[in-house]
Amino acid sequence: MVNSIGQLERNVSASFGYVKKDLLMLNDSVSDLHDKIQHLSLNNVALMEKLRSLENALVKDEKKLKKVAKKKVAKKKVAKKKVAKPVKKVVTETVTYK
């Protein structure tokens, strides 16, 4: 059943209209996805920069801690106690004879 040529043209035109509408919707969706990806990419870059700065700060703190740990604590000089050697007493008795 062949429709009139006018009817066929209208049907084809309507089909192309739907295809065009679908393509525009698809284009909008892809554009939205592209924008979201760019936003996520910018967030990723910002987070990576923050991570690097925190890592650098941590490294600096570790270096400071190592310097503090390497410093020798000033010890008080304590004079050694001299142990007195036992002195032998020489007993000299004077004997007096009467």
Looking at residue 63, its pLDDT comes to: 83
Query: What are the pLDDT tens digits along the chain (98 aa)?
Result: 567 888 889 999 999 999 999 999 999 999 999 999 999 999 999 999 999 999 999 998 888 877 766 666 666 777 677 776 766 666 666 666 65
Looking at residue 48, its pLDDT comes to: 97
Quote the CA–CA distance of 27 and 54 in Å, as a whole number. 40
Quote the DSSP letter at residue 71: S
pTM for the full predicted model: 0.49
Torsion of CA 69, 74, 76, 82, to 10 degrees: 80
Residue 1 structure tokens: 């059943």
Looking at residue 33, its pLDDT comes to: 98
Picking from 56, 77, 58, the residue whose alpha carbon sits closest to that of residue 66 is 58
Q: What share of the chain is helix, strand, coil (3-state, %, to 5)?
A: 65, 0, 35
Total residues found in the chain within this entry = 98
Amino acid identity of residue 73, one-letter, is V
Domain boundaries, the chain: 1-98
